[in-house]
Copies of this chain bind each other. A is one copy, B any other.
Amino acid sequence: MLKNSADVSKATVDRLPLYFRTLRQVQSEGIEIISSEDLGRRIGVTPEQIRKDLASFGEFGKKGVGYFVRELIRNISEILGLHRNWNVAIIGVGHLGWALANYRSFSSIGFTVAALFDADPAKIDQYVNGLVVSAIDDLEKIVKERDIHIGVITVPAHEAQDVANRLVAAGVRGIWNFAPVVLKVPEDIWLVSEDLSVGLSSISYYLSRNTK
């Protein structure tokens, strides 16, 4: 039923987790069928966009009826690969790394924070959310032992490229970078850079248009 999705745009892929999260909330409210209009209103995108995004992956929903919530959740989960378990390591247990280690939404969608690393002796061997902080020196060994698929980089900018190189050499397949620096990684490594100023800039954009 799922189409080959090689040509799906990044913008579409980025909207899928929002659909997924909103549908789970809809499901928790006991709703079994939802129209693209209702779903769009909740997410803040047009119903046309939702229909177009989902059509990239196959035929979902029934014309004139709507989407079957449980089925659509299962399908989006499969599209996003959330039915697998992904092991995640967080490198840099500062405030941001600590916050991410405690972010409950990750485990609810199939990500297991399986390792934490820091270079600071005061942090090594401490527990965060039940998981011990390992020495960064042991990164290669532990990434292999715990079958880490994704590395989350929350170290200062000037350390980030070195950490990325070590993660790649140790065998991770994806990197989620929070350091404000453009990282270079091999082509077969999937890199997502999170820029926390994007959200604020988008607010600034809209406020400048509506503030006297």
Q: Residues on A close to B: CB < 8 A?
A: 5, 10-11, 13-14, 16-18, 20-22, 25, 42, 45, 79-82, 84, 86, 88, 94-96, 98-100, 102-106, 109-111, 149-150, 173-176, 180, 182, 188, 190, 192, 194-211
**Does B200 contact A176, Cβ atoms closer than 8 Å?**
yes
A201 to B175, CA, bound (A): 12
Given contacts A111-B204, A192-B199, 20 further A-B contacts (CB under 8 A): A5-B209, A11-B11, A13-B205, A17-B198, A18-B198, A42-B182, A81-B204, A86-B200, A94-B99, A95-B95, A95-B96, A100-B196, A103-B196, A105-B196, A105-B197, A106-B200, A188-B210, A190-B206, A190-B210, A194-B196
User: Which are the 6 A-B pairs with shortest beta-carbon distances?
Assistant: A81-B208, A95-B99, A96-B99, A17-B201, A174-B203, A81-B204
A21 vs chain B, min Cβ distance (A)? 6
Q: How many copies does the complex hold?
A: 2
- Known contacts A18-B198, A105-B196, A192-B202; A173/B84 CB under 8 A: no
A152 vs chain B, min Cβ distance (A)? 8
- Main secondary structure on A side of the interface with B: helix
Residues of B within 8 A of A209 (CB): 5, 81
A175 to B95, CA, bound (A): 22
A110 to B176, CA, bound (A): 26
Write 21 A-B pairs (CB below 8 A) sorted by A numbering: A11-B11, A13-B202, A21-B197, A25-B182, A79-B205, A80-B205, A82-B204, A84-B208, A86-B200, A95-B98, A95-B99, A95-B102, A96-B96, A100-B196, A106-B197, A106-B200, A149-B207, A149-B211, A173-B210, A173-B211, A174-B207
**Does B197 contact A176, Cβ atoms closer than 8 Å?**
no
A99 vs chain B, min Cβ distance (A)? 4
A188 to B203, CA, bound (A): 12
